[in-house]
Amino acid sequence: MKVYNYMEDIVSDELEKLLGSAGDICKCQKCRLDMAAWALNRLPPQYIVTEKGRVFTKLNEQNIQFQVDILREVTKAILNISRNPKH
Ligand SMILES: [Zn+2]
């Protein structure tokens, strides 16, 4: 068993969704990871215990404020990184 920050999954899902509809910005692997890191540094971690990759605890994904916060931070991450790509 190990602890895992489930927020990483949520942020990367949200990032994929938003980048899918984003305009003319760099969407390379480096930028995607920079965006994910930027958002993850500003969102509270959601640690869960996993065993063999299985998620035991479902988190408060249904909470509207929780989703609004994630959407806001991921959107800001995309704006920030796409303005200043580190490559
Ligand atoms: Zn890039």
Distance 6 CA to ligand 1 centre (A): 25
Whole-model pTM: value is 0.84
73 CA to middle of ligand 1, Å?
19
CA of 84 to the centre of ligand 1 (A): 9
Average pLDDT over residues 11-23: 94
How far away, in angstroms, is 33 Cα from ligand 1 center? 9
Contact status, residue 27 vs residue 21, Cβ threshold 8 Å = no
**Beta-carbon count within 10 A of 16 CB:** 12
First to last CA, the chain: 37
Cα(24) to centroid of ligand 1, in Å? Answer: 11
Dump pLDDT digits (tens) for 44-67: 998 888 776 555 555 555 678 888
* Residues above pLDDT 90, as percent of the chain: 66
Residue 44 is predicted with a pLDDT of 93
**Per-residue H/E/C for the chain:** CEEEECHHHHHHHHHHHHHHCCCCCCCCHHHHHHHHHHHHCCCCCCEEEEECCEECCCCCCCCHHHHHHHHHHHHHHHHHHHHCCCC
Q: Which of 35, 39, 6 is nearest to 22 (CA)?
A: 35
Measure 17 CA to ligand 1 centroid, in angstroms: 17
pLDDT score recorded for residue 54: 58
Comparison of pLDDT for 51 and 86, the residue scoring more: 86
